[in-house]
Amino acid sequence: MRWSKSVTMVEAHAEGEVGRVVTGGILDVPGETMVDKLGYMNGDGDALRRFLVFEPRGCAQMSTVLCLPPTKSDAHAGMIVLQGDKAHAMSGSNAICTVTVLLETGILEMREPETTVVLDTPAGLVTTTAECSNGTCINVKMEMPPCYVDALDTVVNVPGNGQIQLSIAFGGIFYALVDPSEFGLTIEPNSARALVEAGSSVQRCANQQLQIVHPEHPELNGLSYVMFMSTMSDGTLKSATILPPGRVDRSPCGTGNSARMAYMHARGEVQPGDTFRALSIIDSRFEVELKRTTEVYGRPAVVPGIKGRGWIHGIRQIGVDPSDPYPLGYCLSDCWGDGLDLLN
């Protein structure tokens, strides 16, 4: 065996959503801030993302987290989330995976009964508190960055479906929040493929028809994901987040439910101190809280809290032989969906 590059990752999942956390082989990436590093990964560093994410070393149904030195003195670690389409600024499930890996592997010291870990992300600092017992993270609570509604009850024209009503909200990244009844669908495992097709079309059309830019951080722009959302009879929040080029988040989605808290507050449906149970398409669970209100560049905003569990399930080392014809990997629509133009 001869490798010109090797990377070690600890594999974990947060309520079903796989997040592989890079723990060896990548010391850092260029950039003075995490936003700069995000820009590098979506530019000159894209080859590294492809190496880590695409087949044969990766697969569609997972994320890879770059765990980097923090750029701010009050943070313990930096975090950038790599997906099939690009690098993203924040992910709640991946933050849970990252904290679980950092503590349970001893990279950061675990203190019982609680350990605080501050993550430096391109979306801002995320303060997490891990409940710890017998060397294990029982759960991870996160205070998310300020979240706000960018557009309430707007519409996009989706070919074949006409005008679809949605709202745009920032939860660490930008979401389109859509009622699945707009497409005659419900959130259940048997609807996953149909939800992916509908959500993917909404995401592409919204990015073509709407201008979506964070008012303080213009580098954070464009619609990342679509979250289909419904509410059960007992008040439980149900959702399915669609990630390009075409898959469903297995977790309830931390950034998506943060965006949903901003949306619900804008509609007068939630107040500070209110808590909810949030379920994914596979009925895995997060606890969601509206902690307090704030402002983002003069706009009404909220600070949500997310609580969930992570589990380590493997350790993996990947590499590339100098003669390997696929050093950056490959992707096919049978696994990655029909939006392969988004990946190139």
Tokens describing residue 225: 């994901």
User: Active-site residue among 253, 258, 280, 284?
Assistant: 253
Terminal Cα-to-Cα distance of the chain (whole angstroms):
30
Cα angle: 216, vertex 217, 221; to 5 degrees: 120
| Residue 59 C-alpha from the chain's centroid | 16
Which amino acid belongs to residue 152?
L
Partners of 219 in the beta sheet?
none
User: Active-site residue among 63, 67, 91, 167?
Assistant: 91
Q: By three-state DSSP, how is residue 39 classified? A: helix
Partners of 42 in the beta sheet?
none
Q: Contact at 8 Å (CB) between 298 and 148? A: no
200 is catalytic: no
Q: Contact at 8 Å (CB) between 16 and 251? A: yes
Give the HSE-up count for residue 153: Cα atoms under 13 Å, Cβ half-sphere.
3
137 is catalytic: no
> How many angstroms separate the CA atoms of 249 and 269, rounded?
25
Tell me which residues are annotated as active site. 91, 253
